[in-house]
Amino acid sequence: MRFEIVGKNITVTDTMREKIEKKLSSLDKYLIIGDDTVARVVARVYPEAEKIEVTIPTKVGVLRTEVMHDDLYAAIDLAVDKLEDQIRRQKTRLSRRHRESLAQSFLDEQAAEEGEDIPVRTKTIHAGEMDLDEAIMQMELSGHDFYIFTDEETGKISVVYQRRGGGYGLIETD
């Protein structure tokens, strides 16, 4: 990354230039920033504070921040912190945007692989007409966790099942 450091109402010293270049070079660990990328830094002095503006065009987008502080070196540190936050947010957005499509393609691929090899067992039952107590007794005798039957009172197909916490549940159809 190349640096273009400009001072408005201030002369940029070698110490300031080194500090700015060192701090902004640490952003390389977060992004792939090419050697031809130009980081533009403008340092300004106002009567009440000092301001630093940083603009870095990247492949992800333009990183830009402005920070005012009493001390220019503290402003540089705060600007780098803001840029790191922007990079983190941008990476999170990108990963979320692509995560759903990646997950869906993974599920589609997995379903295609498993869809051919999954044996499907089909069983036909006769839902006999009985009351709830008899259906519970038939479920207990069969050793299953559920039992399908036709309810004598309503004439509708229902399912009785054992609940994990104990007791029984009933599912009725419309």
Q: What is the CATH number of the domain that holds 94?
A: 3.30.160.100
Residue pLDDT, tens place only, 33-65: 677 888 899 999 998 999 999 998 877 678 889
Is residue 12 located within the same domain as residue 95?
yes
Is residue 26 located within the same domain as residue 85?
yes
| Domain annotation covers residue 122 | no
Position 154 pLDDT exceeds 60: yes
As a whole number of angstroms, the distance between CA 20 and CA 3 comes to 9
Please tell me the least confidently modeled range out of 105-109, 112-116, 133-137, 164-168.
112-116
Is residue 7 located within the same domain as residue 80?
yes
Is residue 136 located within the same domain as residue 101?
no
| Domain annotation covers residue 30 | yes
Position 133 pLDDT exceeds 70: yes
Is residue 13 located within the same domain as residue 87?
yes
72 CB neighbour count, 10 Å cutoff: 21
Map residue 84 onto helix, strand or coil: helix
List Cα–Cα distances, 72 to 46, 87, 90, 110, in angstroms: 11, 23, 27, 55
Is residue 111 located within the same domain as residue 137?
no
List Cα–Cα distances, 52 to 2, 14, 25, 94, 139, in angstroms: 17, 16, 16, 28, 76
The answer to whether the CB of 72 falls within 8 A of the CB of 50 is: yes
As a whole number of angstroms, the distance between CA 145 and CA 142 comes to 9
Q: Which residues are bridge partners to 40 per DSSP? A: 4, 55
Structurally, the chain folds into a number of domains equal to 2
> Which domain covers residue 38, as residue numbers?
2-115
The model scores a pTM over 0.85: no
The C-alpha torsion from 115 through 118 and 124 to 127, rounded to 10°, is -80
